[in-house]
């Protein structure tokens, strides 16, 4: 394994933003991981684990430590019977290629998670969800390298601490593990998830195939999210999380919106919220729209028109400072007008506490 110095990180992120890593290496197995952490320990360097770079914003100053990019590959069928297939997938696999593979085999469970950029390991970190499905619903276990004990461990679903866009990997045990594999349980029995509003409208009264659902999700996502490729606008997907409120907080929000924007907008809010157990998920995009934040720009960045949760690298030359400035403007405006404080979804790397004032 080669340790490189002063490597520009922008090309390794879907935002196409970020300064240099002081040290950089590619990790493909347990031995690479061990070498990376030994190097970091001997040289007193912090370590940041980078996957597909799809849910991260790296500062213009870069990362003053070792960036270890996970690039292991492979998909293995662990078990298969008449109704179920269990897959062990390397975290370095491109996630949408994994979805395509499952769909071609008529294995149900991740078709609603189509066209999400990034690598497979991030699915577990973020408990990625879309169109009525969440990773935690089909994820059996996660295989990790423990940087403290240097052991390979198998964490089952319950040990991962999954909640909305959250797991132990990005909260209580952040930085403790390198994810090497995720194990998924997929169904061989037809099991479409059509509850999400856009999907339900698309297939109202129909029985779509698994491929039709995948293509519908791709079509819907492409209308809302600019897929971050070389030819399109750099971004990190949804930059802001949807607020989750209890009934009392929702009633307070309705009163606030009626006062600030009128009764019709308060009524529109009721239609747009999603049930989330005994709470409700409020579409952050709706709050941004009524606050007049569509198409707002800052430096080289801009709020995406079709899906305002997305901040795009409009000029291709935007800086991390531009992104944070725009995010702070959004957070402050929504809070002032609705009383709701947004949380951000991407991991923010290499920033000082002063940089993040108004964000965290």
Instruction: In whole angstroms, give the CA distance from residue 44 to residue 180.
Output: 24
Helices (H), the chain: 30-42, 95-104, 121-126, 197-202, 210-224, 247-261, 263-272, 284-290, 320-338
Nearest residue to 123 via CA among 75, 193, 184: 184
For the record, the structure tokens of 166 come out as 């959250």
DSSP 249-263: HHHHHHHHHHHHH-H
Is 238 catalytic? The answer is yes
Which residues lie below 8 Å from residue 136, measured CB to CB, with a gap of 6+? 127, 157, 160, 162
Q: Are 203 and 219 in contact (CB under 8 A)?
A: no
Q: What are phi and psi of 185, to 5 degrees?
A: -105, 115
Which of 54, 119, 141, 165 is catalytic? The answer is 165
Which of 54, 136, 141, 238 is catalytic? The answer is 238
Is 165 catalytic? The answer is yes
Maximum C-alpha span of the chain: 62
For the record, the structure tokens of 265 come out as 């907008």
- Give 86's strand partners: 79, 185
Instruction: In whole angstroms, give the CA distance from residue 97 to residue 3.
Output: 29
Is 141 catalytic? The answer is no
Which residues lie below 8 Å from residue 96, measured CB to CB, with a gap of 6+? 114, 115, 116, 117
Active-site amino acid positions:
165, 238, 345
């Amino acid at each position: 394994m080669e340790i490189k110095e002063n490597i520009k990180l922008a090309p390794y992120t879907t935002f196409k933003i970020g300064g240099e890593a002081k040290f950089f290496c590619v990790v493909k197995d347990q031995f690479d991981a061990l070498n990376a952490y030994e190097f970091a320990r001997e040289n007193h360097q912090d370590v940041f684990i980078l996957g597909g770079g799809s849910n991260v914003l790296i500062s213009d100053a870069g990362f003053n430590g070792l960036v270890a990019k996970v690039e292991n590959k492979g998909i293995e069928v662990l078990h298969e019977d008449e109704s179920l297939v269990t897959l062990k997938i390397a975290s370095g696999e491109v996630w949408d290629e994994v979805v395509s593979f499952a769909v071609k085999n008529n294995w149900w469970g991740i078709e609603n998670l189509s066209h999400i950029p990034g690598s497979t390991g991030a699915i577990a970190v973020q408990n990625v969800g879309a169109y009525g499905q969440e990773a935690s619903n089909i994820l059996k276990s996660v295989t990790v390298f423990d940087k403290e004990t240097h052991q390979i461990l198998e964490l089952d679903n319950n040990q991962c601490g999954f909640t909305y866009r959250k797991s132990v990997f990005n909260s209580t045990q952040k930085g403790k593990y390198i994810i090497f594999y995720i194990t998924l349980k997929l169904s061989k029995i037809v099991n479409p998830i059509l509850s999400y509003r856009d999907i339900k409208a698309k297939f109202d009264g129909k029985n779509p195939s698994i491929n039709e659902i995948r293509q519908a999700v791709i079509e819907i996502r492409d209308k809302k999210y600019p897929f971050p490729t070389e030819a399109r606008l750099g971004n990190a997907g949804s930059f802001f999380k949807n607020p989750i409120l209890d009934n009392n907080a929702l009633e307070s929000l309705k009163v606030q919106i009626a006062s600030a924007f009128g009764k019709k907008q308060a009524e529109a809010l009721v239609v747009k919220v999603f049930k989330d157990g005994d709470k409700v998920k409020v579409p952050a995009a709706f709050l941004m729209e009524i606050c007049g934040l569509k198409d707002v720009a800052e430096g080289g960045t801009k709020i995406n028109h079709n899906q305002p949760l997305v901040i795009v690298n409009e000029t291709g030359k935007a800086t991390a400072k531009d992104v944070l400035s725009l995010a702070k403007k959004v957070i402050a405006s929504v809070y002032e007008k609705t009383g709701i404080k947004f949380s951000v979804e991407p991991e923010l790397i290499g920033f000082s506490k002063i940089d993040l004032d108004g964000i965290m």
